[in-house]
Amino acid sequence: MISENEVINKILEKDKEINLLGSIQSLLAWDQECLMPSDAVQWRSEQMGFISGFVHKKATEKSLGELVDKLKDEKLESDEEKSVKRLSERSWKEANSFPHDYVVEKSMFLSKAHSIWVESREKDNFSIFESTLEKIVDYAKKDSEYLGTCDHPYDNLLDIYEEGMTVKKVDALFNPIGDSISDLVKKISTAEKFDNSFLSTETPIDNQKELTNRLLKVMNYSKDRGRCDEAPHPFTIDLGPDDVRITTRYHKDDFKANLYGVIHEAGHALYELGSNDNIRATLLGGGVSLGIHESQSRFWENFVGKSLPAIEYLYSDLKELFPEMVGNRDAKTIYKALNCVEPSFIRIEADEVTYGLHIILRYRLEKLLIEGSIKVKDIPDLWRCESKKLLGIEPEKDKDGVLQDIHWSGGSFGYFPTYLMGNVYGAQFLDKIKDDLPEWDSTIREGNWSPILDWLKDKIHSVGSIYTPTNLLQRVTGETLSADSFIKYLYQKFSDIYKL
C-alpha cells in the first residue's frame, strides 16, 4: 500500500491499465526481435500502431488529467506520495504533448524501420536505411518541438531518458572525460603490449551457452522471472514485475561478446526486478532513468565482471569450457587480455577506456542532427571522420560504424549519452559499496556475489523511481554527479595493468 490518499490510488489504478497495455506492446517488440518471421513486419507495424494509440488514449484521458490536477492541491507526506505526484504530472504532460494520430503513425513507422535497419546492416549498405533515418530524425525533431521550448532542441530528448538532463550539463560532464580518456589512451599506447590474440580462438557455442547459465546463476538472475534468448543486438525488456527478459548473441571466435553481454543485460534485469513489493507494477517501480539503469548494467559488466577477482573466480569455468583458448595461461594473463585497451569499431565490444569515446562520438552527431547542422546523408563520412579523431581508427564498413547500433532505428535520440552517464554514476556507487563491503575482492573471487546484489537492491533497486536520479545519487553517496570517481577508477585500474 503506497498511500491511503484516494486521489493517488485512483491515479495508480489508471496507471496500471496503461502499464498492462505497455507490457503487451513490449511483448510484441520482444517477439519481433527474437522470433517473428520477416514477412510479418507489415501486420506487426499495424499491431504496434494500434496498441500505441490505445496506450496514448488511456494516458490522455480527461479523467486522469482531472486527478493529476486535483493532486496538486493535496497535502502529501511520504516520499512515495510526492513521487506519484511528480511522475504522474511528468507522464501526463509528455503524453498530452503529442497528437494522437502522430503517436500511431510514428509507432507504425518505427516498427517497419527496425527491419530496414537489419537489412541495411546485414548488407552493409547505408543507402538502404538512409531515407528511413531521415524520417526518424524528422520525428525526433518534431518530438522536441511538441515537448516545448528549451535552450537546445536536444534538451527535450535528453530529458525523456534522464530527468533534468540538458546539453549544457552533458557537455560539462563529457568534455573532461573525453580529455582524460584521450590522455590515458596516449599513455597506454607507449606502454609494453601484451598478447590478447588467443581470445579469438574458436569456442563452441554450446559451451558459451553453458557459461551463460553459470553467469546468470552466480548473479542471482532467476529463470523463473525471466529468460535469455538470442537477438542481433542484445537488449533487456520489461514485460511485467516478474517477467524481465534478456538477450545475447554468440560468436564462435569471440566468446567475450557473450560473456559481457550477458552480465550487462542481467544487470539491467536485476534492477527492474528489484523494486519493493509495495511499488512493483506501479509507476514508482522499475528504473528511474536510463542513466541509473546503465549504472547497474555497467557496474556488473565492468566493476565486477572485468575485475581480477571475477576472472579468478571464472577461471575454472573458462578452463573447463574453453580449454584450447585458455591453454596453460593463468587467470592474471586472461584478466589482462580481457582488459586490453585497443580502439575498436564496435561500441558494445569496446574496452572500458575507449568505450566512452564511442558515446561521445554518437552524442556529438545526434546533437548536430537534431539542431539541423548536418544532414543524414553525410553521417557515414562524418562518423568515419569523428572515429578517426576520437579513436584513431576509421571504419571502412558502415556496419562497423553508423549502422552498428539498433537505437536510431527505434527513434531513441537522447538515449546514448546515458551509457556514459551510467559509468559515471556507477563509479560513484562503487566508491560507496567498497566502503560498506570491505571484503569486496574476496566476495567476488569466491563466487558469492549475493552481498553485492543485496547492497544494490537496498540502496538503489528497492526504491524504483521514487527519487530523481540526482536525489538518488545524493542519498546513496552524499555526492552530486561528477566524473572524478570514474576518471580516478580508470587511471588506477589501467595504470596497474599497463604499469604506467
Cβ neighbour number for residue 175 with a 10 Å cutoff: 12
Q: What are the backbone dihedrals phi and psi of residue 244, each rounded to the nearest 5 degrees, phi first? A: -120, 115
Q: What totals of helices (H) and strands (E) does the chain contain, helices first?
A: 21, 3
Backbone phi and psi for residue 236, each to the nearest 5 degrees, phi listed first: -120, 140
> In this structure, what is the dihedral angle of CA atoms 477, 480, 485, 486, given to the nearest 10 degrees?
110
Q: Show the cell assigned to 83.
A: 513521487
- Residue 91, C-alpha cell as written in the block: 507522464
- Cβ neighbours of 282 (radius 10 Å): 23
Residues catalogued as catalytic: 265
In this structure, the strands spanning 244-248 and 228-230 are parallel
One-letter-per-residue 3-state SS of 439-464: CHHHHHHCCCCHHHHHHHHHHHHCCC
β-sheet bridge partners, residue 481: none
- What are residue 230's DSSP bridge partners? 248
* Chain centroid offset of residue 474 CA: 21
Q: Is 372 exposed, middle or buried (0-12, 13-18, 19+ CB in 10 A)?
A: exposed
E strand intervals along 77-155: none
Angle between helices 6-34 and 100-122 (to 10 degrees): 30
